[in-house]
Amino acid sequence: APAIDEGPADDARDVLRRVFGYEDFRGRQREIVEHVIGGGDALVLMPTGGGKSLCYQVPSLVRPGTGIVVSPLIALMQDQVDALTELGVRAGFLNSAQQPHERRATEEAFLAGELDLLYLAPERLRTEPTADLLDRGRISLFAIDEAHCVAQWGHDFRPEYLQLSVLHERWPSVPRIALTATATPRTREEISTRLELTGARHFVADFDRPNIRYRIAAKAEPRKQLLDLLRTEHPGDAGIVYRLSRADVERTAEFLSGNGIDAVPYHAGLDASVRARHQERFLREDGVVVVATIAFGMGIDKPDVRFVAHLDLPKSIEGYYQETGRAGRDGLPATAWMAYGLQDVVQQRKMIQSSDGDEAHRRTLTAHLDAMLALCETVDCRRVRLLAHFGQESGPCGNCDTCLTPPESWDGTVAAQKLLSTVVRLDRERNQKFGTGQIVDILRGKRTAKVEQFRHHELSVFGVGAELGDAEWRTVARQLLAAGLLAVEGEYGTLVLTASSSEVLRREEPRTVRLRSEPQRSAGGSGAG
C-alpha cells in the first residue's frame, strides 16, 4: 500500500512530487519506473549519482505490496531507511547487525502490509525463515542493488549474490529490477545469466560526465604535486584524495594540513566517532579535503566536490570511474587528477601475485589492472577510453589532459631492447635478478657500491643507456611493465622477461615499441635524450 492517501491509482509522477518533492524524472528514470510498475524486469546501468534509488522506490510505492531491496551495503541501510522515514515512506531493514526485537518489529510490520520498502542483506535470502517470511507477505518487486556483485568477472564479486537466482525461481511473477553503476558489456552479460534476467529490458544511461576533466600525471613527488594542484587550481575547494594504505592516508592528511589545507583523514582503522566527525565536516562545511581509503564515499552525496585525486593507482577502471564520479555532481567543472608511476605498477603486480584465490582469480585481477594501465598510458583521449570500457562509443572530448595537450610519443624500441637485454644478461651470465633501480644504474653506467659489489660494471651492457636519465629509464620500465613486455616477480619486485619480450629482442624485424613522452619531457623540461 502506498504511503499517500489517494490510493494506488496515483501515478508515478504524483509520487515523485508528493513524496520525494521532485518536479520531474531525470534521464531514463520515467521509462524505467513505468516499465517496472507494469510488471517488467529491468537491468539498469546508471552511473553513481544518476538517481538509481528512485527507479525502485517509486514503483514500490505505486505497486501494491512491499518492495524488497537487496543491498550489500549493510552499513548504509540505517541511513537509507532514516532518510525514507523522514519523507513519510514506511521503510525497514533486516540485517545481522540488528537487535532481535528490532527484527521482530520489522517482520511484523511487513506481514501486516505496513511497509513500502524492506531492505535485506543478500545472505538473508538464502535462509528458509526469511524466504518463508517473504512468502507470507505481499511483495511488490525485488530490487537488486549493486548487481555487479554477482559477476565473478567483475571487480567486486560477492558469492552470496549467486543465491539471488532464487528470487526468480521462488517468486516468478514478481518483477525484478537489478541496478549497478559499473558494468562492462561482459559484466552485464554475466548479471543477466546469473540472475536469470535474460528477458529483462536493459536501460543503459549515458556514462559520460562531461564536466569532469580527467588528468593522469607522471608521479614524481606525489604529495607536492597534489599540493601544487590544490594551491593553483583548487584553493578553498572541497575534494577527496584517495590513497591505498591507511598509513599513507594519515601521512598525506598531515602533510596537507601542515601546508595550510583544511584536510582530514578517513579510513576504517579510525575510531567510528572520528570518522563520523570528519565525514560530517566534509558534508557540512565548505572547502574540506578528505584524504581517504576507498572505504570513503559509498553513499556520500555532496554535489560540490571540485576534485578527486588519486595518489595511488586504482585496481580497476570500475573503481577509478566510481571514485572520480564523486566529483562535480552539480555539473560544474571538476577535476579528476591522478599521479601514476613505476612503483604503482610494480606494487599492484606484486599484490596480485601474492593474492589469495586461484589462478583464474589472479587472471581476472590482472585483466582489470591491465585495462587501468592502458588508460594511464594511452596517447588518445582518456574519456574515449573510459567510456569504451563501459561499452559506450564517443569522440575526442576536448576536456582531458591528452586532448588538451596531446602527449608526444617516441620510438622506444632501442631503449626497450637495451633494458630487456640487461635483464637477459643478468639472468644468463650471472643467474641473477634485480629490481628496476639496479637495472637503471647498470644502463646508465653508475658505479654505485652495489654495482661494484656485484661487479656489474664488467657486464657488456654497463653504460649502454647513458643517453637517458634516471626518470626516463623508469618511465621506459613502467611502460614496458604496463604493456606486458616486462614483468615483476617475488617480494623484491625483480624484473623478468615475459613471453612477449622476445618479440622486441629478436634481430629480424623486432616489434616496435612506441612510448609516451612524459609531459615535462615534451615541454622541453628536465632530462636528457
Of all residues in the shown chain, the one whose CB is closest to ligand ADP is: 51
Helix, strand, or coil here: 250?
helix
Least separation in angstroms between residue 377's CB and ligand ADP is 30
Separation of alpha carbons 55 and 37, rounded Å: 10
Q: Which of residues 286-315 bind Zn ion (CB under 5 A)?
A: none
Angle at 246 between CA 241 and CA 247, to 5 degrees: 100
Nearer of residues 22 and 153 to ligand ADP, judged by Cβ:
22
Site string for ligand ADP, 41-80 (x = CB under 6 A): -----x-xxxxxxx--------------------------
Nearer of residues 26 and 455 to ligand ADP, judged by Cβ:
26
Task: Give me the helices (H) in 445-529, please.
Answer: 449-453, 470-482, 501-505, 519-522
Residue whose C-alpha cell reads 625483480 in the numeric block: 494
Binds 53, which of Zn ion, ligand ADP, none (CB < 5 to 8 A, cut-off by type)? ligand ADP
Least separation in angstroms between residue 86's CB and ligand ADP is 12
Is the CB of residue 228 less than 8 Å from the CB of residue 191?
Answer: no
Instruction: Decide if residue 403 touches Zn ion (CB under 5 A).
Output: yes
Site string for ligand ADP, 430-469 (x = CB under 6 A): ----------------------------------------
Least separation in angstroms between residue 390's CB and Zn ion is 15
Q: Is 383 exposed, middle or buried (0-12, 13-18, 19+ CB in 10 A)?
A: buried
Instruction: Decide if residue 390 touches ligand ADP (CB under 6 A).
Output: no
Count of chain residues binding Zn ion (CB under 5 A): 5
Nearer of residues 22 and 171 to ligand ADP, judged by Cβ:
22
Nearer of residues 154 and 265 to ligand ADP, judged by Cβ:
154
Nearer of residues 403 and 424 to Zn ion, judged by Cβ:
403
Helix, strand, or coil here: 521?
helix
Helix, strand, or coil here: 118?
strand
Nearer of residues 143 and 439 to ligand ADP, judged by Cβ:
143
Instruction: Decide if residue 400 touches Zn ion (CB under 5 A).
Output: yes
Cell of 152: 565473478
Contact residues for 105 (Cβ-Cβ < 8 A; gap 6+) = none
Separation of alpha carbons 440 and 445, rounded Å: 8
Contact residues for 24 (Cβ-Cβ < 8 A; gap 6+) = 13, 16
Nearer of residues 326 and 383 to Zn ion, judged by Cβ:
383
Instruction: Decide if residue 29 touches ligand ADP (CB under 6 A).
Output: yes
Nearer of residues 235 and 303 to ligand ADP, judged by Cβ:
303
Nearer of residues 303 and 398 to Zn ion, judged by Cβ:
398
The enclosing H or E element of 345 equals helix 342-353
Nearer of residues 49 and 333 to ligand ADP, judged by Cβ:
49
Instruction: Decide if residue 25 touches ligand ADP (CB under 6 A).
Output: yes
Least separation in angstroms between residue 400's CB and ligand ADP is 23
Instruction: Decide if residue 310 touches ligand ADP (CB under 6 A).
Output: no
Least separation in angstroms between residue 350's CB and ligand ADP is 33
Sole binder of ligand ADP in the list 17, 26, 170, 428 (CB under 6 A): 26
Separation of alpha carbons 408 and 279, rounded Å: 41
Nearest Cα neighbor of 289 from 298, 303, 275, 278 is 278
Q: Which of residues 328-387 bind Zn ion (CB under 5 A)?
A: 381, 383
Least separation in angstroms between residue 233's CB and ligand ADP is 26
Instruction: Decide if residue 22 touches ligand ADP (CB under 6 A).
Output: yes
Least separation in angstroms between residue 388's CB and Zn ion is 12
Separation of alpha carbons 142 and 161, rounded Å: 14
- Tell me the window of 77-85, 175-183, 229-237, 402-410 that interacts with Zn ion (CB under 5 A): 402-410
Binds 49, which of Zn ion, ligand ADP, none (CB < 5 to 8 A, cut-off by type)? ligand ADP
User: Kind of pairing, strands 486-489 and 409-411?
Assistant: unpaired
Binds 50, which of ligand ADP, Zn ion, none (CB < 5 to 8 A, cut-off by type)? ligand ADP
Separation of alpha carbons 124 and 89, rounded Å: 23
Is the CB of residue 18 less than 8 Å from the CB of residue 270?
Answer: no
Instruction: Decide if residue 11 touches ligand ADP (CB under 6 A).
Output: no
Question: Which residues make beta-bridge pairs with 240?
Answer: 290, 308
Cell of 437: 633501480
Contact residues for 132 (Cβ-Cβ < 8 A; gap 6+) = none
Instruction: Decide if residue 397 touches Zn ion (CB under 5 A).
Output: yes
Binds 221, which of ligand ADP, Zn ion, none (CB < 5 to 8 A, cut-off by type)? none
Binds 383, which of Zn ion, ligand ADP, none (CB < 5 to 8 A, cut-off by type)? Zn ion
The enclosing H or E element of 209 equals none
Is the CB of residue 377 less than 8 Å from the CB of residue 480?
Answer: no
**Other Cβ atoms closer than 10 A to 290:** 25
Binds 22, which of ligand ADP, Zn ion, none (CB < 5 to 8 A, cut-off by type)? ligand ADP
Separation of alpha carbons 245 and 212, rounded Å: 26
The number of helices, as runs of H, and strands, as runs of E, in the chain is: 22, 17
Separation of alpha carbons 2 and 290, rounded Å: 40
Binding residues (CB under 6 A) for ligand ADP: these are: 22, 25-26, 29, 46, 48-54, 301
Binding residues (CB under 5 A) for Zn ion: these are: 381, 383, 397, 400, 403
